[in-house]
Structure 1
């Protein structure tokens, strides 16, 4: 837990109200999302019991498996869920747009929008991942055929579950983590995992949160007391009222999901949220086209090279997401200021037209002096970036004590983001009197390391087996 988050939690305890830990929204909230609340049978590995799904707050559709151990009924459940999901996904494939690539030399096509799924908590994401794995390899013919929508559902659920692992992706979101990204409560992280309590803390405070602590669960697991007292007898006698009992159990969570969406929509979106959503649209377009071309289901597990490449992508996305959040949100950036990775100050001197002619050709290299009262824990030669001008680099020339105690003067040399001429474009160089935040964080693209072809890896990592020459000769003689 960071220092500012710990402080926010302490303030929440003292005031009885959740405290904001963000000034902007760091995720995309769709105007037309699909909310999916899964419910699983206790004691069974990924056995679906029910789901409440839909895109209209007033018209949720209830899917129920009255006998969760009945294989045919479970696949009828998957078939209907697949029809709902695929119908929703197909509504985004009618309109495309051209996106320039390679500095405008070429274009590629993608869908103008992408779908968004919401589940109540991380357990819902795990349920979709496991349910996708159990359905995507099913066949529509043979000894045990299933409806065509079942394997297609499995592939899409796997796609969304994989996207949920990518930091900054908004294709599959869960309400608990989305709220926790923007507010801190006065309770533990385990208690925050209950959507009803967390939402009550944010909307009304601690008193209201205590009143809903024993309310209906948000799934995918059910309450053991409910299982023993209500659910088991209904399933055992195949009671016709089971669907209505489950609907009443899930409706409070359904209503809270839409309240969560409305609550998040009130926050202004961060500047770089749209950029990350563009990446989600690219991913959705690519996978939809892959399926349209007859692409195979995702493998059960990645090979060594594929796993390494995926890890590289996730690490790169995590680093980029952390930087973008800090650049979008001064409250997030404050964490880095406390850690010494950033400082704020005022420009006292500026030489916007300074030219460095010591090299083969003259280059524009303005210098500015920034006075700050914050500790400066960077060495000369360090490259810094300002969120106000992310494409510009500021190299530290020197750090000297200023006239007042505790203040420092930081001399910086600027490069990039000022045009291609020897005269800086207006506003590209900070002027005297401007308040500036500088940090070691950077959005600069970092090329991933090269990975070998799977055929070039040793047999322990999926490559071909190696047979020693002596062993091969002995085998031939025998």
Structure 2
């Protein structure tokens, strides 16, 4: 936790309301997101119990499994989830942009123009918390390899035809959720906690009701009181007033209400009484719907809060990466490629890890450039400084055949960067990749004199706008403002056998 986040949490404790950690929204929000509030059965990993889902805020769709241990009921439930979710996931595949790029033939060296399709938009699934992301990933893992009744050898317990396709899509979006900055599958508690600091611990922020109580407390109330009520308040039956956002249910709800209802359902099925079985299933639906509906409203409330923030400048670029990812998976499904493997080979795993490391660096850099509060954390850590330009002196490098502009810029700042004379700094908000070198430091007066090294054009005089003017506010970082590319990895056939490659 950074110093700025700690200060914000202390301020939240004193004021009784969550404090902003961002001035802009750092994640993309779709105009038509698909919200899922899933529940899993206790005692069996990944066994679905219920889900409340849909795009219509006022009319969600409730799907349940009255007996989670019954395989047929579980796969029938997943088939119904597929009927609701797959049309949404596939609906973005038709509207595309045609992009051209120049491709060089490795043999002839000739350049040709290649046209690629990029979907104009991509789906966005929203779940209450990271547990929902993990559960959707488990659903995908357990279904994408399932045999169906249409297969030549369906085996025992064949799944409905669209279940494996649903598993492939759930696997893709859950994998994408692990890429920093991705918004295709959005856990709401994590996203809200990125933008607001509460007066409770990070572990307590995982409770959606308590988190919203801090961000938007009742009028005249304080966040800690509302959060305590959201976490522990119970009614006369001993049930929580604010049900947990899943995927686990409250143990008291399981033992006092749900387990007896499932027992009555099993008894009705054993008696082969269809009317009574249907009545018992509807009783379970009512119990689970009463638990899920408050969470459904909380998710939409959280989305409303996020929409009050303007999007950051680089959010659209990160969403474009999600669109490329969606387009690629759409093409793989259309081509009839097999499902994602259970485990990655060594090269694929290394590439995936390298991609996530690059994306994390990229997100940190872009958030700092988009948001003064994010940059303030780097300034407090001595990795950046901001201030006013007080003097600009023309200067030139005459060591080459023609003089090159190397102006000296003096900045007054209250920051204390960890920078010694000769050290390199990078200008944020200026020309791309503009570097500077510290020439002189007057710590008592708070003055830093830097020599600009590039980004001023190829002429003798700097291009207009490439050199800051006196009175202008500037910001410099001690770290590069673009992520470095990682070293190339070998192809799978060139990988040594010790790392999963072919035997020698």
C-alpha displacement of 1:315: 0.5
Q: Which residue of 2 aligns with 1:460?
A: 498
Q: Which residue of 2 aligns with 1:287?
A: 329
C-alpha displacement of 1:350: 2.0
C-alpha displacement of 1:196: 0.6
- Unaligned stretches of 5+ residues in structure 2: 104-111, 218-222, 233-241, 266-279
* Partner residue of 2:229 out of 198, 202, 211: 211
Distance across 2 between alignment mates of 1:160 and 1:6: 33
Alignment partner of 1:48 is 2:48 = yes
* Partner residue of 1:304 out of 312, 327, 346: 346
- Equivalent residues in 2 for 1:59-458, closer than 5 Å: 59-101=59-101, 107-140=115-148, 141=151, 142=153, 143-144=155-156, 145-204=158-217, 205-214=223-232, 215-238=242-265, 239-240=280-281, 241-351=283-393, 354-389=395-430, 391-401=432-442, 405-416=444-455, 418-458=456-496
Point out the more displaced range, 202-211 or 154-163: 202-211
C-alpha displacement of 1:59: 1.2
CA gap 1:360/1:81 in 2 versus in 1, 3 angstroms: farther
Contact between 1:52 and 1:250, CA under 8 Å: does it hold in 2?
Answer: yes
Distance across 2 between alignment mates of 1:122 and 1:211: 23
Distance across 1 between alignment mates of 2:313 and 2:168: 32
Contact between 2:12 and 2:198, CA under 8 Å: does it hold in 1?
Answer: yes
Contact between 2:379 and 2:417, CA under 8 Å: does it hold in 1?
Answer: no
Distance across 1 between alignment mates of 2:452 and 2:160: 65
C-alpha displacement of 1:355: 4.6
Contact between 1:185 and 1:201, CA under 8 Å: does it hold in 2?
Answer: yes
Q: Which residue of 1 aligns with 2:24?
A: 24
C-alpha displacement of 1:193: 0.8
Contact between 2:408 and 2:449, CA under 8 Å: does it hold in 1?
Answer: no
1:293-342 Cα distance to aligned partner (Å, 9 max, x none): 11211111111111111111111000111011111111111111111100
Q: Which residue of 2 aligns with 1:471?
A: none
Distance across 2 between alignment mates of 1:50 and 1:397: 61
Distance across 1 between alignment mates of 2:467 and 2:412: 16
Q: What is the Cα-based RMSD across aligned positions, in Å? A: 1.9
C-alpha displacement of 1:107: 4.6
Distance across 2 between alignment mates of 1:32 and 1:6: 35
CA gap 1:236/1:391 in 2 versus in 1, 3 angstroms: same
SS at match of 1:306: helix
TM-score, normalised via structure 2 length = 0.88
CA gap 1:364/1:97 in 2 versus in 1, 3 angstroms: farther
CA gap 1:100/1:333 in 2 versus in 1, 3 angstroms: farther
Figure out how many residues of one structure are paired with residues of the other and give that number.
462
1:106-132 Cα distance to aligned partner (Å, 9 max, x none): 553201111100000111011011111
C-alpha displacement of 1:50: 0.5
